[in-house]
Amino acid sequence: MEPRRIIWRVYHTISLLHTGRLFRHIHWRGDMDIAPLFGVIITTPSPPPPTLVFWRTPPVGSYKINTDGCVKDGVASGGGIIRDSSGQCIRAFFSFYGDCTILEAELRAILDGIILAQRLGLSVLWVESDSTLAIHCITKGGGPWHIQATLRHIRHLLALDRDTITHIFREDNQGC
């Protein structure tokens, strides 16, 4: 086959793929400057508008526990802070958990915060975590077998008719 015919076939195939929206801007990665040669105008999608996030104080007479878990270089840890309804810090906590998954670290940090709050005699708790998976496992159930004991312990200590557990964006879980 002669070179002109090969070039025409490549051009035609790329045009068809682009027209059918099967060939997108990510497929041109590294070759954006040649796309116009094929009649392809590349527009990158605009980023979503920013979301305003802010930390809310718990209702009067209740306490908020913000927790976070972390795994770095194979070592898990977690911690958090307990605040009153005016946002004042009651107590902060931190623990090393050794070798475990990020989900286990998130759940153990939540459990540590609840245990500490109860030892301090605090009730009506609002627990916030930036782990949607941990929140889902606690409120809806499920998850791998190795976290079931921790989930049962958390559910046993939390009175879900009185206490609250919610997700918070990571950017807002870093304190006031």
Locate tokens 């304190």: which residue?
175
Q: Would you state the pLDDT for residue 136?
A: 93
Q: Would you state the pLDDT for residue 43?
A: 67
Q: Would you state the pLDDT for residue 139?
A: 92
Exposure class string for 29-59: b at 16+ Cβ within 10 A, else e: eeeeeebeebebeeeeeeeeeeeeeebeebe
Q: How would you write the pLDDT of the chain (176 residues) with one tens digit per residue?
A: 688 888 778 777 777 776 776 766 666 666 666 667 666 666 666 788 877 777 889 999 999 999 999 999 989 999 999 999 999 999 999 999 999 999 999 999 999 999 999 999 998 999 999 999 999 999 998 889 999 999 999 999 998 778 889 888 766 555 54
Q: Would you state the pLDDT for residue 176?
A: 42
Q: Would you state the pLDDT for residue 122?
A: 94
**In whole angstroms, what is the distance from residue 71 CA to residue 128 CA?**
19
The dihedral formed by the CA atoms of 54, 68, 50 and 176, expressed in degrees to the nearest 10: 30
**In whole angstroms, what is the distance from residue 80 CA to residue 146 CA?**
23
Task: Give backbone dihedrals phi and psi of 94, rounded to 5 degrees, phi first.
Answer: -160, 140
Task: Give backbone dihedrals phi and psi of 136, rounded to 5 degrees, phi first.
Answer: -60, -45
Domains of the chain: 3-38 (no CATH), 63-172 (3.30.420.10)
DSSP 35: G
Q: Is the pTM of this model over 0.85?
A: no
**In whole angstroms, what is the distance from residue 73 CA to residue 114 CA?**
27
